[in-house]
Homo-oligomer: A and B are copies of this chain.
């Protein structure tokens, strides 16, 4: 019989974007205070703290790090830009290793400035991933390709479906996997099929909600339960595919959640994780 995970506080992870006002130190302390034992920081707060020091703080609290956000942004207008992106990605891998992250989340990048060549950008992403992979394998940091919603195809990620991410994993092999974020994939007619196909390649599962109306493409994500995504159905899909990891709450919300007291935000995340995720 499958374990009912829905009421397990141990399986919630907090992405630092959900409590954006907090530093890494505050994130670690705030989550510990709330009884949450997993986090997923963005690089800005890790770098502000220093990756080595961040790793020590996290280990001292016994925290799980479900991912480091984010590497990627591979395409560039010229070779120098692509090389700079690769170098930055190698540093991201090292930071992920330093804090013991289970994976490095990759927002792969969109069109280079001035370009309309989407197929070309997608080839650059594949080539960038292939170039980064040896370093990531050596460091023991799995690369989690995150398909982003098609509305970000131009400026953030030209990998826009789970099918594309699965294809990339098949091409690139060991050391690559997928981050499934409900906000980005809930609309996909092939969702069930492609989650099943991803199987054990699912490295991270991000939860949040799609609000109606959505007033900003990037910064108006909803708290789980406030929107239209059937979160229980998608969670059942990822668990049926073999995923046994955390539900990582990632809510970019400039006008609502970022303006609230982060301790209150965590309380609501826990409640919603228990009732609707």
Interface residues, chain A, with chain B CB atoms under 8 Å away: 111, 115-118, 122, 149-151, 153-155, 158, 160-161, 163-164, 186-189, 210, 212-214, 217, 227-230
Alpha-carbon gap, A188 to B186, bound state (A): 16
Chain B residue nearest to A158 (CB atoms) is: B187
Query: Which among A158, A164, A228 has the greatest number of chain B C-beta atoms within 10 A?
Result: A228
A155 to B228, CA, bound (A): 10
Kindly report how many copies of this chain are found in the complex they form together.
2
Residues of B with C-beta under 8 A to A122: 189
Knowing A149-B151, A154-B212, the reply to whether A189 touches B217 (Cβ < 8 A) is no
Q: A111-B212, A115-B228, A150-B188 are in contact. List 17 more A-B contacts (CB 8 A).
A: A111-B228, A116-B228, A116-B230, A118-B187, A149-B150, A150-B150, A150-B151, A151-B187, A153-B187, A154-B187, A154-B210, A154-B227, A155-B212, A160-B187, A160-B189, A161-B189, A214-B217
18 of the cross-chain contacts (CB-CB < 8 Å) are A111-B212, A111-B228, A116-B230, A117-B230, A118-B186, A118-B187, A118-B230, A149-B151, A150-B151, A150-B188, A151-B187, A151-B214, A151-B217, A153-B186, A153-B187, A155-B213, A160-B189, A214-B217
Cα of A117 to Cα of B186 in the assembled complex, Å? 11
What chain B residues lie within 8 Å of A164 (beta carbons)? 189
Main secondary structure of the interface of A (DSSP, over half): loop
Distance between Cα atoms of A169 and B164 in the complex (Å): 25
Q: Tell me which residues across on chain B come within 8 A of A149, comparing CB atoms.
A: 150-151
Minimum distance in angstroms from A108 CB to a CB of chain B: 13
Instruction: Given A163-B189, A189-B122, verify A116-B151 contact (CB < 8 Å).
Output: no
Can you name the residue of chain B whose Cβ is closest to the Cβ of A160?
B187
Residues in B with CB closer than 8 Å to A186 are: 118, 153
What's the nearest-Cβ distance from chain B to residue A118, in Å?
Answer: 7
Residues of B within 8 A of A214 (CB): 151, 217
The smallest beta-carbon distance between A109 and chain B, in angstroms, is 13
**Residue numbers in B under 8 Å from A163 (CB-CB):** 189
Q: How far is the CB of A169 from chain B (nearest CB, A)?
A: 15
Instruction: Report the Cα distance A111→B153, complex, angstroms.
Output: 24
The listed residue with most B CB atoms (<10 A of its CB), out of A186, A189, A214, is A189
- B contact residues around A155 at 8 Å (CB): 212-213
CA distance A149 to B160 in the complex (A): 12
Q: How far is the CA of A230 from the CA of B213 in the complex (A)?
A: 29
